[in-house]
Every structure is written in C-alpha cells, then in structure tokens.
Amino acid sequence: MLRKYSNSRSLKDNIRLGVLTAFSAGMVNVASVIIFFAFASNVTGHYAILAQEISRGQWYQVAVVMGWILLFFLGSFVSNFIVINLTHKNKYVAHALPLVLEMACLLGVGVYGQFSYQGTLVETEILVAFMLFSMGLQNGLTASISNFSVKTTHLTGLTTDLGILVSMFTQKEYRADRVLVGKAKLLFAIAGSYLTGGVLAGVLYDSLQFRVFYVVSAVIVVVILYDYSKLRYLQFFKRRKKVPLEFSRQPLAEPEHEYAIED
C-alpha cells in the first residue's frame, strides 16, 4: 500500500489504501460530530461557517474557523513535503511518516479526552484543530502517492465522480473500459468503507467514549505494518536466495595428499 508511488501503483494497491484510510476517516468524522458537534474530516462546511461568521462580524469565531482550515491545509502540505523530499532516500519511511504523525494526533485527542477533557469551548476548538490537521495529513498522503486517485477524508468530489461514471456506464463502450470500471470500483470501495467506519464509530462510542480514537489509531497501525511486514519478508527471502548463490561461487579447494611422493 505504501511502498509504491504514483503510476507504479496498481488498482489493488489503491483499493487497499483507500478502504483502510477511508474507514479511519469515517470513524474520526462521526466521533467528532458526536462529541464536538463539528466535522473533522473535511473543510467544506467550515468555509460556509467562515463566510457566515465574517458576515456577522464574529471575529473570534472567524479566527478559529480560519485556523481549522489552515491546519487542514498544513496537514496536506506537510504530507506532500515529506513525500517529495524523503522518497528518494526511503520510500516506505516517506510514505509511512505522515501516518505516524496522524496517529500521534489522534492518540493525543483520545488520551486528553479520556483523562482531562472538561467540555470547555477552548478545549473543543483545540481538539477539533488536531483532528483536522490529522485528516489533512491523511488526505495529502493518499492523494500524493496515488497520483490524486485516492482521497479518503471527504466524499463530495467522490460522489460527483461516481455520478459521472454511472452516467457513462449507460453506454456499452464505457462499460467495456477497464480503466473506468476500475475507477468506479475504487470509488465505491472508498465510499462504502467511509460509511462503515462511521457506523462503527457511532456504535462503539457509547461504550468506548474517547477511546474510540484508539481504535482509529489501530487501523492506521495496520496500514503502516502491512507494508513493513512485506518488506521484512522480501529482505529475508533475498538473503536466503543470496547465500546459496554466494556459496556456489566459492572456488574448489585443492586436494590434499596424505603421502608425499619422493624422487
């Protein structure tokens, strides 16, 4: 999921990445709505709120919402900055590091919420800010490494693309296009996974409360370790393959004679 970059990725790579990250984004967004009454996986609604607060002259709220939008932007910026600057050194690390940062943000929200959260407005605004930054990290990463094929934290553009694709599939020539069919499979998988993650968060919240963010973090760990385990296996396999090859190249030893022949 994380080792390959841009056009070298297969449809299966993108589906795996899209399904797991969309699942986590759905959980984060629903948990945020339940706890804070605010969306955390996208900024479309926040732009509308920003316009409303500007028109009303509520400048503190303008600053808060503007900060949320900028943090989502910053998360995306940081993800792609890491990818384009570290990929040539270690592609796996470059692609996994934004997810590690995302997980750290979400664990921070979970730990603070479980042990220290008092329900104040300032606390709420800060925790939502952390979640928006984490979702910016995730969306920036998935879009960057998939050549903008995978975006998992919001579904507006995805739903638009699906509507266009379904209309195209009313024509036989488009139904036979493997690229378009593959794109539709990817988009349906992302939408279904996002919805499933959201439903699970809603079900689990009553019993887990803020600990639901630990579950989200566990999903991100799966994404990170999936490729790590494959890399370890490939390295082990290459070593096993290399050892017999090197052994076979060793020169044969000269035979030793037990008795010397005297003239």
CA-to-CA distance for 79 and 67, rounded, in angstroms?
Answer: 18
Q: Spell out the domains of the chain, with CATH numbers in brackets.
A: 9-233 (1.20.1250)
What pLDDT shows up at residue 243?
52
What pLDDT shows up at residue 232?
57
CA-to-CA distance for 188 and 19, rounded, in angstroms?
Answer: 10
What pLDDT shows up at residue 263?
37
Over the stretch 168-197, which tens digit does the pLDDT of each residue have? 999 999 999 999 999 999 999 999 999 999
For the chain, give the secondary structure using H, E and C. CCCCCHHHCCHHHHHHHHHHHHHHHHHHHHHHHHHHCCCCCCCHHHHHHHHHHHHHCCHHHHHHHHHHHHHHHHHHHHHHHHHHHHCCCCHHHHHHHHHHHHHHHHHHHHHHHHHCCCCCHHHHHHHHHHHHHHHHHHHHHHHHHCCCCCCCCCCHHHHHHHHHHHHHCCCHHHHCCHHHHHHHHHHHHHHHHHHHHHHHHHHHHHHHHHHHHHHHHHHHHHHHHHHHHHHHHHHHHHHHHHHHHHHHCCCCCCCCCCCCCCC
What pLDDT shows up at residue 19?
96
What pLDDT shows up at residue 45?
92
Match 């790579």 to its residue by tokens.
13
Over the stretch 25-55, which tens digit does the pLDDT of each residue have? 999 999 999 999 999 998 999 999 999 999 9
Inform me whether the pLDDT recorded for 7 exceeds 80. no
What pLDDT shows up at residue 53?
97
With contact defined as beta carbons under 8 Å apart, do 24 and 215 qualify?
Answer: no
Over the stretch 63-103, which tens digit does the pLDDT of each residue have? 999 999 999 999 999 999 999 999 889 988 999 999 999 99
> 262 pLDDT band (50/70/90 cuts)?
very low
> 8 pLDDT band (50/70/90 cuts)?
confident
